[in-house]
Amino acid sequence: MPTYEYVCTKCGHELEVFQSMKDALLTKCPACRKAALKRKVGGGAGLIFKGTGFYITDYKKKSGEPSAPAKSPETKTETKPAAIPAAK
């Protein structure tokens, strides 16, 4: 459920309300008790991961980095044969 911001056009009181998108808009100001509340247009919040192991910079592309590391055809990998145990 989103958090909506409201402002009273009469007294200027501002508040945030956690409510469902299906709920009716609030109209009565809790400060001055007049029907003058208007919902503000919000830009939304950034992506927030909650819990351990998530960091805001985990998926952020660093400037100047290519999107995927390029492999050159000259790169060779050496493989070593597996060690054979000595027979007893």
Summarised one tens digit per residue, pLDDT across range 61-70 is 667 666 555 5
This prediction has a pTM of: 0.49
The phi, psi pair for 37, rounded to 5°, reads -80, 140
Q: Which residues pair with 3 in a beta bridge?
A: 18
Q: Which residues pair with 7 in a beta bridge?
A: 14, 38
Closest of 8, 5, 12, 10 to residue 42, by C-alpha: 5
pLDDT tens figures, 1-41: 788 999 999 999 999 999 998 999 999 999 999 999 999 98
